[in-house]
Structure 1
Amino acid sequence: MQENESAPQAEEQHRSFRYWADKLRTAVLCLIAGITLYALYSLRGSDWGAVYAFWHARRFLLAQVFLLGCCDIFLDGLIWRQVLRHQGVTPGKVQSIFLYFSAHAALLMPAQLGRAFRSAETARRCYVSAATTFSAEVLYLGFTAISASALFVSAFMFFQISATAFFLPLLLIPAGLAAAQVIRPLLIRLKLQIGFVSFLQPALAGLVFLSMLNWLINALNLYLVFRELIPDLSYMHALMISTSTLFVGAISGIPGGFGVAESYIGALLYWLKAPPVHLVPAVLAFRILSVWIWVPVGWLTLGLQSVAFRKKSTEETEASQ
């Protein structure tokens, strides 16, 4: 009888939580939309010829940002492949590249569903269960979130305790993995398939620290793009902005955080005294070179993968006959 009474109560609490969460999300999106409109309004009468000349003179800097972005993508793909291996999924090297970029092809899907699309593709191509590959995507995202959180806290504390903050990830990352181990039974009850006994092992900690290097590269790109525009911008500012975009984009539920991440970055940099006339081109350059340029690459690899898969299926059919 008591269980029957508690079930409606839990459902009501869940409904109330969703209601206020949606209200908060709407308020944040309205705030970001207002900031975006104000930024666009402030561009009226700007000298776009001067803006073009400024960035044309720094085209080699943008090329450098792109090359660093390639290193970022390489490391990210390596981490993703290692997480798959821990889940017992071992695609070949070329196949791993195709599968990794399939998430970028689906980057315009809302609420991180691009990762779900990649997990479905991985399950189909590697002949494993979708639950296993989806769990790998969740674990991969969790490791990324742990490293982002550790770096955000470290960058924030840098302004309080200076260089000592550099050692905080050595404490925060193991603490994050320990927290994951504590909630491991809950994750299993949520039908997450975890292919290893414990989160507290050196190999997994190494993946999280490697993910931290990803964020350091991404923050370096942001710093390189804006350092001449904002004299007071420090690398720690860039690191805080870069890592926090993961959570802003995910919470928004908007495909790839499109527009939200750009507005969020622009708002923070405007607050740091970035000149409005350069703000929009600089934010777009950073986001295109670090994120959106990989969308067509994802579609290309997805097409090549489909062609290769059909060719292999045809050869197997002919061999069986």
Structure 2
Amino acid sequence: MTHLSTHSWLKVTLIYGGLALFGFWCIHNFQKDLRQIDFASLHGGWWAVLASGLLSLFNYGLRIVRWQRYLRHMGHQLPWGLSALSYMAGFAFTLSPGKVGEMVRARYYSRYQVPLNDVTAAFFAERLMDLIVILLLSLAMLAALPAYHLVMWLGIGLISVVVGTLLLMPWARLQAWLQAHPSADSSLIKLLHAVATMLLRARRFLSPGMLLWSLALGLIAWGAEAIGFKIVGDVIHPDAPLSWASGIGIYATATLVGALSFLPGGLGSTEAVMASLLYAQGFPVPEALLLTLICRVLTLWLAVIIGWLCVWILRHDH
């Protein structure tokens, strides 16, 4: 009994110690960004920051709707409150590489008997749809900038390979072959079987109706954040406001590069591309940095803060 208690204590310590360190890292990076912001350039345009923040919340709301639709598409009827809180709780770990830390939401579905493979399939489909949407939003900007043609073709190629593989691979046969494999009990075969099962289930999200619905909702959701970016940019640099195409394209291109970099939250890569593109559009360096950092506060750190709040609420409920 003592051994079990000690083991449980160590497990809890490691879990909460890891969460504390991760939270400290998030707060440290946020403070580092905040110290670089010169608020004088806003010239009383805080209404634009507020509007941009509300558009980010609108983005989250639409993505919650999509997540709930994905779960129901697989036959899981979860309460809206749980879906919303668990989805946002994943944002507490959005700084993990490839955002895989957002899969933490799966732990809240155990009492509803939602298989982990279904959650991973929905998560994979969600990430794929977001990547396609961001690429579509950035195409106009990328096509006009030769220096970023490689990023554009890399994104198009990556998405084409992933979608083609999902549609054309005989996942059911591969799944059955792995299950009947002589080494079916080995860790590697079990992992490959789980991946094949997840991808087989993810394919159902690529039916024409679901695909078009997901893309339309994604374009509205991510387009809202891009519009917020353009609104704040016009306040910071009113002498030469960004065109709608440029504003949306810069936001989407920087987000795309951050996603393809697989850095935690795109930190560093997203900021560098966004500031560079703004400078190329005529923004002075201080104003380009200001807009970049405000955008990151409203689209990354706001989500992280809300995510940790939702983690606390769910922990309290449990």
Short-chain TM bin: 0.5 to 0.7
Partner of 2:166: 183
Q: Note closer, same or farther for the CA distance 1:94–1:197 as it changes in structure 2 (3 Å cut).
A: closer
Instruction: Give the secondary structure class of the aligned counterpart of 2:201.
Output: coil
* AA in 1 matched with 2:166: I
* AA in 2 matched with 1:213: I
Matched, 1:231 2:217: no
TM-score (norm: length of structure 2): 0.68
> Is the contact between residue 249 and residue 261 of structure 1 (CA under 8 Å) also seen in structure 2?
yes
Partner of 2:124: 138
Instruction: Give the secondary structure class of the aligned counterpart of 1:183.
Output: helix
Matched, 1:55 2:62: no
Residues 172-231 of structure 1: CA deviation (Å, up to 9, x unaligned): xxxx89983673243835512426657233233112111011121121111111124161
Instruction: Give the secondary structure class of the aligned counterpart of 2:206.
Output: coil
Question: Relative contact order: is structure 1 or structure 2 higher (C-alpha 8 Å, sep ≥ 6)?
Answer: 2
Partner of 1:95: 82
Q: 1:121 aligns with which of 100, 107, 132?
A: 107
> Is the contact between residue 135 and residue 256 of structure 2 (CA under 8 Å) also seen in structure 1?
no
> Is the contact between residue 65 and residue 221 of structure 1 (CA under 8 Å) also seen in structure 2?
yes
Q: Note closer, same or farther for the CA distance 1:198–1:177 as it changes in structure 2 (3 Å cut).
A: farther
Partner of 1:318: none
- Count the aligned residue pairs: 245
Distance 1:86 1:283 in 2: 37
Identity across the alignment (%): 22
Cα deviation, residue 90, structure 1: 2.6
More displaced 10-residue stretch of structure 1: 141-150 or 224-233: 224-233
Partner of 1:205: 212
Residues 227-280 of structure 1: CA deviation (Å, up to 9, x unaligned): 241616211112222222343222222211123212221111112121122222
> Is the contact between residue 223 and residue 235 of structure 1 (CA under 8 Å) also seen in structure 2?
yes
Cα deviation, residue 99, structure 1: 0.9
Partner of 2:270: 261
Aligned Cα root-mean-square deviation (Å): 3.0
TM-score (norm: length of structure 1): 0.67
Q: Note closer, same or farther for the CA distance 1:156–1:236 as it changes in structure 2 (3 Å cut).
A: farther
Instruction: Mark the runs of 5 or more structure 2 residues left unpaired by the alignment.
Output: 1-35, 146-158, 175-194
Partner of 1:305: 314
> Is the contact between residue 178 and residue 199 of structure 1 (CA under 8 Å) also seen in structure 2?
no
Matched, 1:194 2:177: no
> Is the contact between residue 96 and residue 265 of structure 2 (CA under 8 Å) also seen in structure 1?
yes
Residues 82-107 of structure 1: CA deviation (Å, up to 9, x unaligned): 12222333321110111111221111
Instruction: Mark the runs of 5 or more structure 1 residues left unpaired by the alignment.
Output: 1-42, 160-175, 310-321
Aligned pairs (5 A) from 1:235-246? 235-246=244-255
Distance 1:138 1:198 in 2: 10
Q: Note closer, same or farther for the CA distance 1:52–1:144 as it changes in structure 2 (3 Å cut).
A: closer
Q: Note closer, same or farther for the CA distance 1:242–1:282 as it changes in structure 2 (3 Å cut).
A: closer
Q: Note closer, same or farther for the CA distance 1:158–1:248 as it changes in structure 2 (3 Å cut).
A: closer
Aligned pairs (5 A) from 1:165-176? none
